[in-house]
Structure 1
Amino acid sequence: MNDKNSLTVGSGQPLGEGWSGWATQYPGAMPKLYGAREIAEVNHHPDEGQRLIFLSEQPAQAVDLPYSLDADPAGIRASVCDVITGTLMVGAQGHTPPPAGHWAEAFWNAARADATAQAVDLGKFREPIAAWSKHCAHSIQGYESYRDIDLPDWMVERRQQVRKCDQLLALIDSQAVRNG
């Protein structure tokens, strides 16, 4: 039975730990493996730009060194930052939490708590806005049919305030704004 580090050829005979042999290769192409130098030389066409090369595959030796972020060629810092940024975004939106116990769970919970703390209950502004709208409407009562050009400036301003109050009340009552 072959172990995972053992290579096989043809009928599946193991070649042992690692492989070495001769190959030919055209520039920009994968090499053709032949094994024995004599066989590779017979199949070698230098006049066509093909190279004759010796290849050797040695099993990787396990190295027990401490991990260093500074020496990480895979860019784990960028990957971790991407995960944290994404987790903060979806946490603030309140969806797609990481699995329980996952290291990113703390970031999701923090973003969720921050978003909840910043939510404003706009419903508490409904009563004062409605009262101001009623006051403004009452002060210009009887002049509804007049054009703005025919009214004094203070009445035009009151009409505009009534319109703005109506827009705010509609926004507060709509589903477009989170009403705590």
Structure 2
Amino acid sequence: MSAVQQFHEAANDSLVKLSELCPTGAKLALVIVTPGEPERDIILEDQGLDRNEVVSALRRRGLSIDGDNAYKRDLLDCVVGALSTGAQNSSPPPDGHWGQRFWDIGREERASSEQLLKALTALTQIAGECEQIASNYSGTIDGIFEHGGDDHEDPSCAIFHRLYYAMFDARAAITKATT
């Protein structure tokens, strides 16, 4: 019998003896962690042990979601994936899956963004037309800028100045959202 097999047998026997001393309904688990060598980790557990209860017990004793671990990275990758596929309205999770909540959030955010983009596009069209009308009465943008820009004494010049520069940001935002 190998040393590992001997250890498993001794640990199992010890767990049986310890379980006889535990309160009724209590479950035992033995976890031996070998840092840097996960293939050597050992987990022995009672029959019927709920691993979620083990995690809850560890959390009650100070286990935190802070810090780096593979389980948390995998979980957050799943959340990000659900948000992303929800935004794309593709690959929904199976019925009753915990990721549905995040998929729905991604889908709702995408719909909201599309509504805002549609409204911004329509507003930009109207603002562009107003900018053109104001520019017909205002002269050049450089001349308006030299004579007070937003504070120009002629309201059509001030309006033209504001629209001229606001359109840069609006058009850039639309381009970014659609490319």
Which TM-score applies when normalising by structure 1? 0.47
Structure having the larger proportion of residues in strand: 1
Larger Rg: 1
- Which structure ranks higher in relative contact order (CA pairs < 8 Å, sequence separation ≥ 6)? 1
Structure having the larger proportion of residues in helix: 2
